[in-house]
């Protein structure tokens, strides 16, 4: 009668209805953009720090959890860059790959140079960890890193752990007997890619659905795209997911890709505001634009 | 088109309205949350009360106290809900609890007994010591919390929530309160536990440890002061300050774990990769301590610890413990050669223990970690099947609770801290047995530093 070790705490409906940022008057589309960019920043920083995807994914989930609900963090108080760095800091502490404040500060300083956090960084850009910041800057950022870490812990009531769908995804594929298929590695790659994209979803799919359902939706979509046949029967029900949830998740996965495209165009050549000052400046700019 | 001035005014009004709106929303939200929280607590209280002293009339089976509850038990269902569909919310404040008395000041924090003001429920509060260092929020505290959140089991102390204090650093674990820890309890008891009671305790201990190991968690600091007992005979593991997930093979681990008296020989000898077997060794030490009502291997330092171990368990040999000589600190040991019969367990120290009991204890205290049984295997051991059978938990005697009333003394060694360097120097054990043969008891013999 123990609770499933695979279950995650999910966002309550009330938490999804509003956010700290919206209560502070930050437009929802701006919050969506910043959250998306912050999640990508976390992914990019994680790769530069040579962290396994499981660790990066947990950091992104912590980052996403932080903002939801009336009691969530607000962009008027916290920069997304700062919360991203502290999320990674926290999650790596609980992993087998703790990272020093120095490495974190340097990598984020390095990534500062990109307008929209890069989608694909290579860990061989190992220089990022050695990126130079002045001692004064370092001290300030380190202090902010740990201060924000505290705030994340308290905002989430110390719920900073998350189970992930990656291993499940492989297990389910085995159970579905697709491992004998000649193109199974293509299937697996596509499914994992969907899971990674969904981490960035503006619909916060990892905060609203349990890992088994996420894994199933990823396999379902990947199989359809790769033209690989899965059992005719409603196999997803074996894994505790109903058709409705599967459908919802598939739409959610695909719309994240559309959202990503749209964001790229929207911010072409401009910086997504990842600090409090930048967010304020963006709001001011918008107000002036609508005045003109 | 409106003038700039008018715009400004409108903006200000709008900003003010928004601010008020926001404050009102936050207030309502908080109020709602508090109401929900109180309702939940009240519901929980109500569901706990009748279940409290449920007796299982003819059950011989002691550890099933919890598992034998029907699945419809409201408390269980609520738990399931909490973790199946759990959610997160900001930490409550420490001021929701009223301190009743201090229990203990340990190596990592302060523990006190307190009352949840809203529900009158008695809980234990453990304040985490915040050695603010170069690394921000202490990794050990983070691990302790994370592992307790995952380790939900009838034989593991229940972490209810983490609350924040007045300073940003203050952080307090709210746990269910248990009346005793086994160390303090035994110090106050007149006679040792009887055989059936030792079995009840040991089986619950093995149950908790088996759950941990199944979930890839090593406790790494099992000892009587970290094992709690309530007045319903239920035993629960506590103090996960040293615990961690079993890392991928080959990752080096710190050997600075487990309080000296309960520390496995491979740790003392500096092994870089150890596993759940270190907990099994500690379990052996706890079993012996429950039988004798006093610690079995109270070493004064690493060298003394090893010599006590060797005199109780015999000397290590290449045959019984292959690879022993390759452990980092082994070459500095000088062991007597050609001694016969010295590798066997000294059962004379446990004169009242049955054959099966000695078999279990000596296997837990095997020098070679591979020879120790797993916690699951312990649960299956004949020791629990032979007479006397484990005493049902609900038949367990109750004891006055020190934790319920007063502050305690502290004397046994703490879990090791960073900076205590492992490594033994050169140590000569060749005199161990001759010293003993000359009539010296236990580990009172001399050790030479060669
Ligand atoms: N939940 C609890 N109920 C009652 N007493 C407790 C509880 N948790 C801890 N204690 C008491 O406090 C002592 C110290 O707690 P512990 O968690 O072991 O902290 P430390 O890491 O400081 O050793 C224990 O030995 C026990 O006596
Ligand atoms: Mg302790």
CB-closest option in B25, B169, B245 to A23: B25
Last residue of a domain, one of B176, B210, B244: B176
Global pTM exceeds 0.90: no
Which residue in chain A has the smallest CA separation from B87?
A9
Best mutation target, B35, B74, B136, to test chain A (most A CBs within 10 A): B136
Do B252 and B315 belong together in one domain?
A: yes
Say whether B221 is catalytic. yes
B436 in a structural domain: no
Of the CA atoms within 13 Å of residue B135, those in its CB half-sphere come to: 14
pLDDT at B422: 56
The ligand 1 atom nearest the CA atom of B175: 1
Write the CATH number for B132.
3.30.200.20
CA distance B31 to A113: 44
CA geometry: angle A77, A81, A84, nearest 5 deg: 100
Question: Average pLDDT, stretch A188-216?
Answer: 95
Could you list the residue range(s) of the whole structural domain that residue B127 is in? Answer: 98-176
Residue B266 lies in a domain: yes
| Own/partner pairs, B427-431, CB within 8 angstroms, 24+ separation | B427/B303, B427/B306, B427/B332, B427/B333, B427/B334, B428/B333, B428/B334, B429/B306, B429/B307, B429/B310, B429/B315, B429/B333, B429/B334, B429/B335, B429/B336, B430/B334, B430/B335, B430/B336, B430/B337, B431/B336
* Mean predicted confidence (pLDDT) in A96-104: 92
Query: Could you tell me if residue B318 is inside a domain?
Result: yes
Asked whether residue B202 falls in the same domain as residue B232, the answer is yes
> Residue B78 has which token pair?
């609520």
Read off the pLDDT of residues B348-387 as tens digits, 9 standing for 90 and up: 999 999 999 999 999 999 999 999 999 999 999 999 999 9
In this structure, is residue B46 part of a structural domain?
A: no
Where b means 16+ CB within 10 Å and e means fewer, A77-95 reads ebbbbbbbbbbbbbbbbbb
Full strand arrangement of the beta sheet holding B227-229: B180-181, B227-229, B235-237
- Residue closest by Cα to atom 10 of ligand 1: B111
> Do B89 and A11 lie within an 8 Å CB cutoff?
no
Ligand 1: residue of B115, B171, B238 to mutate (most ligand atoms within 8 A of CB) is B238
Residue in B222, B226, B220, B219 with CA at minimum distance from that of residue B182: B226
Percent of chain A with pLDDT over 90: 75
CA-nearest residue for atom 22, ligand 1, is B106
Active-site residue (options: B166, B191, B221, B304): B221
User: Among A116-130, A236-250, B194-208, B284-298, which stretch is predicted with the lowest mean pLDDT?
Assistant: A116-130
Report pLDDT digits (tens) over B210-264. Answer: 999 999 999 999 999 999 999 999 999 999 989 988 876 666 677 778 899 999 9
Partner residue facing A1 (CB), from B76, B88, B136: B76
Q: Which of B87, B90, B143 is closest, CB to CB, to A9?
A: B87
Residues 111-150 of chain A with CB under 8 A from chain B are 145-147, 149-150
Best of A3, A17, A286 to disrupt the B interface by mutation (most B CBs within 10 Å)? Answer: A3
Mean pLDDT of B342-352: 86
Q: Residue B114 pLDDT > 50, yes or no? A: yes
Relative to beta strand B122-128, strand B109-116 is antiparallel
Partners of residue A3 in chain B, C-beta under 8 Å: 79-80, 82-84, 152
B173 sits in which H/E element: strand B171-176
Per the CB < 8 A criterion, the answer to whether B63 and B393 are in contact is yes
Task: Report pLDDT for A113.
Answer: 78
Q: What is the CATH number of the domain that holds B369?
A: 1.10.510.10
| B26–chain A Cβ distance below 8 A for any pair | yes
- What is the DSSP annotation of B176-228? E--SEEHHHHHHH-SSPPPHHHHHHHHHHHHHHHHHHHHTTEE-----GGGEE
Residue B288 structure tokens: 């012996």
Neighbour tally for B10: CB within 10 Å: 11
**Alpha carbons B158 and B228: distance in angstroms, whole number:** 11
- Are B339 and B261 within one domain? yes
Q: Which of A235-239, A252-256, B77-81 has the lowest mean pLDDT?
A: B77-81
Q: Angle A80-93/A53-67 helices, nearest 10 degrees?
A: 130
Look at residue A46 in the predicted model and tell me its pLDDT: 95
- Say whether both B128 and B186 belong to one domain: no
- Six token digits for residue A57: 């994914």
Residue ranges with strand state E in B4-119? 97-105, 109-116
**Residues near ligand 1 (Cβ within 6 A):** B 103-104, 106-109, 111, 124, 126, 157, 175-178, 181, 184, 225-226, 228, 238-239, 241, 403
User: Sorting pLDDT into bands at 50, 70 and 90, what band is A177?
Assistant: confident
What's the CA gap between B125 and B148, in Å, rounded? Answer: 14
Question: Contact, A109 vs B142, CB < 8 A?
Answer: no
Q: Rounded to whole angstroms, how far apart are CA atoms B95 and B360?
A: 47
Mutational pocket test of ligand 1: of B97, B111, B259, the residue with most ligand atoms within 8 Å of the beta carbon: B111
**Per-residue pLDDT, A193:** 96
3-state secondary structure of B338: coil
- C-alpha B212/C-alpha B195 separation (Å) is 26
Asked whether the CA dihedral A39, A42, A48, A51 is positive or negative, the reply is: negative
Does the structure show a pLDDT above 60 at B42?
no
Q: Is the pLDDT of residue B59 over 50?
A: no
Number of domains in chain B: 2
Nearest partner of A103 among A136, A141, A56, judged by Cα: A141
**Is the distance from CB of A89 to CB of A100 less than 8 angstroms?**
no
A71 versus B74: the higher-pLDDT residue is A71
Answer whether residue B79 shows pLDDT above 50.
Answer: no
Tell which of B176, B201, B220 closes a domain: B176
Rounded Cα–Cα distance for residues A90 and A92 (Å): 6
B44 assigned to some structural domain: no
Q: Do A5 and B215 touch (CB under 8 A)?
A: yes
Mean of all residue pLDDT scores within chain B: 79
- CA-CA distance, B265 to B254, in Å (whole number)? 14
**Whether residues B276 and B163 fall in one domain:** no
- Which of A108-112, A135-139, B234-238 shows the highest mean pLDDT? B234-238
Q: What is the pLDDT of residue A169?
A: 92
Is residue B6 domain-resident? no
**B171 and B200, same structural domain?**
no
A161–B contact, CB cutoff 8 A: yes
Domain boundary among B154, B176, B198: B176
How many residues comprise chain B?
450
Are both B136 and B155 inside the same structural domain? yes
In this structure, are B240 and B157 located in the same domain? Answer: no
Percentage of chain B beyond pLDDT 90 is 52
**Are B224 and B127 in a shared domain?**
no
In a domain, B385, yes or no: yes
* Same-domain pairing of B249 and B366: yes
Q: Say if B70 falls within a structural domain.
A: no
In chain A, residues with a C-beta closer than 8 Å to the C-beta of B171 are 153
Express as a percent the part of chain A with pLDDT over 70.
Answer: 94
pLDDT category at B33 given cuts 50, 70, 90 is low
Token output for B449: 């530093």
In terms of domains, do B125 and B240 share one?
Answer: no
Cis peptide before B388 (omega within 30 of 0): yes
pLDDT above 80 (res B53): no
Do B231 and B378 have their domain in common? yes
């Amino acid at each position: 009668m123990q609770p499933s070790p695979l279950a995650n705490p999910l966002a309550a409906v009330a938490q999804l209805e509003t956010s700290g940022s919206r209560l502070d008057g930050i437009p929802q589309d701006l919050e969506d953009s910043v959250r998306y960019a912050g999640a990508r920043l976390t992914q990019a920083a994680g790769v530069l720090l040579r962290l396994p995807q499981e660790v990066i994914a947990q950091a992104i989930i912590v980052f996403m959890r932080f903002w939801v609900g009336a009691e969530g963090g607000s962009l008027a108080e916290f920069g997304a860059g700062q919360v991203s760095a502290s999320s990674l800091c926290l999650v790596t502490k609980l992993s087998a790959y703790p990272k020093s404040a120095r490495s974190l500060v340097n990598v984020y300083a390095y990534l500062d140079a990109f307008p929209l956090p890069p989608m694909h960084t290579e860990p061989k850009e190992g220089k990022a960890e050695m990126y130079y910041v002045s001692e004064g800057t370092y001290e300030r950022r380190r202090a902010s890193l740990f201060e924000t870490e505290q705030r994340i812990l308290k905002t989430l009531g110390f719920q900073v752990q998350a189970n992930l769908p990656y291993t499940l995804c492989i297990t389910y594929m085995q159970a579905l007997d697709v491992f004998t298929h000649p193109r199974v590695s293509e299937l697996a790659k596509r499914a994992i890619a969907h899971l990674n994209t969904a981490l960035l979803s503006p619909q916060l799919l990892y905060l609203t659905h349990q890992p088994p359902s996420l894994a199933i939706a990823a396999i379902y979509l990947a199989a359809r795209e790769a033209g690989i046949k899965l059992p005719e029967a409603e196999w997803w029900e074996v894994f505790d997911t109903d058709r409705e949830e599967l459908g919802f998740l598939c739409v959610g996965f695909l719309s994240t890709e559309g959202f990503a495209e749209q964001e790229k165009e929207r911010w072409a050549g401009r910086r997504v505001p990842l600090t409090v000052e930048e967010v304020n400046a963006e709001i001011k700019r918008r107000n002036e634009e609508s005045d003109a | 088109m409106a003038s700039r001035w008018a715009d400004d005014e409108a903006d200000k009004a709008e900003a003010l309205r928004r601010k008020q709106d926001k404050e009102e929303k936050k207030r309502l939200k908080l109020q709602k949350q508090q109401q929900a929280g109180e309702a939940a607590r009240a519901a929980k209280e109500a569901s706990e009360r009748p279940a409290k002293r449920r007796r299982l009339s003819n059950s011989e089976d002691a550890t099933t106290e919890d598992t034998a509850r029907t699945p419809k038990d409201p408390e269980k269902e609520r738990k399931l809900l909490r973790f199946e569909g759990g959610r997160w919310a900001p930490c409550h404040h420490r001021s929701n609890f009223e301190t009743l008395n201090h229990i203990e000041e340990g190596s990592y924090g302060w523990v006190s007994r307190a009352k949840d003001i809203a529900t009158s429920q008695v809980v234990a509060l453990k304040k985490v010591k915040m050695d603010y260092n170069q690394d921000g929020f202490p990794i050990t505290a983070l691990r302790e919390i994370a592992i307790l959140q995952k380790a939900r089991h009838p034989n593991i102390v229940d972490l209810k929530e983490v609350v924040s204090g007045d300073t940003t650093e203050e952080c307090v674990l709210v746990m269910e309160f248990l009346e005793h820890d086994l160390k303090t309890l035994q110090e106050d008891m007149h006679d040792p536990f009887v055989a059936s009671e030792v079995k009840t305790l040991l089986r619950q201990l093995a149950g908790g440890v088996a759950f941990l190991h199944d979930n890839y968690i090593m406790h790494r600091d099992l000892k009587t002061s970290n094992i709690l007992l309530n007045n319903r005979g239920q035993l629960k593991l506590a103090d996960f300050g040293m615990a961690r997930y079993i890392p991928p093979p080959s990752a080096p681990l710190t050997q600075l774990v487990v309080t000296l008296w309960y520390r496995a020989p491979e740790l003392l000898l500096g092994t870089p990769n150890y596993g759940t077997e270190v907990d099994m060794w500690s379990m052996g030490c706890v079993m012996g301590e429950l039988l004798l009502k006093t610690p079995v291997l109270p070493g004064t330092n690493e060298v003394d610890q090893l010599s006590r171990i060797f005199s109780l368990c015999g000397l290590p040999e290449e045959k019984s413990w292959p690879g022993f000589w390759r452990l980092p600190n082994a070459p500095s040991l000088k062991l007597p050669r050609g001694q016969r019969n010295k590798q066997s367990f000294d059962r004379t120290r446990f004169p009242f223990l049955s054959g099966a009991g000695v078999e279990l204890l000596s296997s837990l205290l095997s020098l070679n970690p591979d020879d120790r049984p797993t916690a699951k295997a312990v649960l299956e051991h004949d020791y629990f099947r032979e007479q006397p059978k484990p005493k049902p938990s609900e038949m367990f005697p109750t004891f006055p609770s020190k934790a319920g009333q007063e502050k305690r003394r502290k004397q046994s060694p703490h879990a090791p801290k960073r900076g205590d360097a492992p490594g033994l120097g050169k140590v000569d054990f060749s005199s161990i047995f001759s010293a003993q043969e000359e009539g010296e008891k236990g580990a009172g013999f001399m050790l030479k530093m060669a």
